[in-house]
Amino acid sequence: MDTDLGNSSSAAIDLASRTVSHALVWSETWPSPRQQPSSIPATRRRARHSPEWRTREVEAEHLRERIAALEAQNQELRAFADTVAHDLKSPLHIMAGYAEVMQSYSSTLSAAEAQDCLGRIRRQANKMNGMIDELLLLAGVRQQELEACPLDMGSIVAEATQRLAPTIQEYQAEIALPQVWPLSWGYGPWIEEVWANYLSNAIKYGGRPPLVQVGTTLLDGFVRFWVRDNGRGLTLDERDRLFTPFVRLDQDRVEGHGLGLSIVKHIVEKLRGEVGIESRLGQGSVFSFTLPAEKVFLAEY
């Protein structure tokens, strides 16, 4: 992770903290709320309810919120750096190992063994490429400013399923889709990523064969989209960890649900929605997300 970015964020936190302290230092001389109003001079009681006082209080509260947001971002940056260092290093080690085998035993390896080594190297390279694409997408979600648009959800889901065609064929999955899609607002390319992630997980970690049902539910001002699978289901502990940002992809995560679901969470929340999971062991899982049913303004998240 870029050290300058972390340092600038820490400096911003320090500056904001000093600003809050400066804004509130004069308020420390005020009596506590337990003191009787009669013991407070009338001029001070009037000043405390003055527009200037209220403005300072509002500004101080905004600064507190900004400090909390910066501290959360710093924590995510540290976890982000750990994820990149660990999860990209693992396939690199595997690739290096097979390359070393081919170099050391090039004269004795059969053609089939050499092809096997090359195939394993290629798969690890594809894995790394997928991780990098996910990380770039997440960075774009955090930084990009955009305007919500009405979504042609049928076309978006069709694009996602087309991308997953090889996986659908490999697992012989059946996907049941709604005939009608309610109007919702968001950003099409990001929502396609959400569907691709949910559907891919439902196929790979569903039953055999995977039976995937997609549906919608109208809520007050929102539309809930959901994907139900026929997998083994998840424990309460597994559900609690699913959307945790930057959990390590091969240790602390639930198998098959790692950085991808963290990205889904960032996308949906930036679009003013929420993610959800309902699951019980032996009864499959339902992954969901909500989007506004009306146009919203997407301020910086």
pLDDT number for residue 257: 40
Residue 192 tokens read as: 């396609």
Class of domain 149-292: alpha beta
Interstrand relation of 211-218 and 174-176 (parallel, antiparallel or unpaired): parallel
In angstroms, the CA 238 to CA 245 distance is 14
Residue 117 tokens read as: 């080594």
- Along the 301 residues of the chain, how does pLDDT read in single tens digits? 444 444 545 555 555 455 444 444 444 444 444 445 455 555 555 555 677 777 888 888 888 887 876 776 676 666 666 666 666 777 888 889 989 989 898 889 899 999 999 999 988 888 777 777 766 766 666 666 778 899 999 999 999 999 999 999 999 999 999 999 999 999 998 999 999 999 999 999 899 999 999 999 999 999 999 999 999 998 888 887 777 655 443 333 334 445 678 888 888 988 999 999 999 888 899 999 999 998 776 654 4
Domain ranges of the chain: 3-81, 83-143, 149-292
Q: If DSSP states are collapsed to H, E and C, what string results for 111-156?
A: HHHHHHHHHHHHHHHHHHHHHHHHHHHHHHHHHCCCCCEECCHHHH
Report whether 177 contacts 157 (CB < 8 A). Answer: yes
Regarding pTM above 0.85, the answer is no
Cβ-based neighbours of 292, under 8 Å, separated by 6 or more: 148, 184, 185, 186, 221, 222, 223, 271, 272, 273
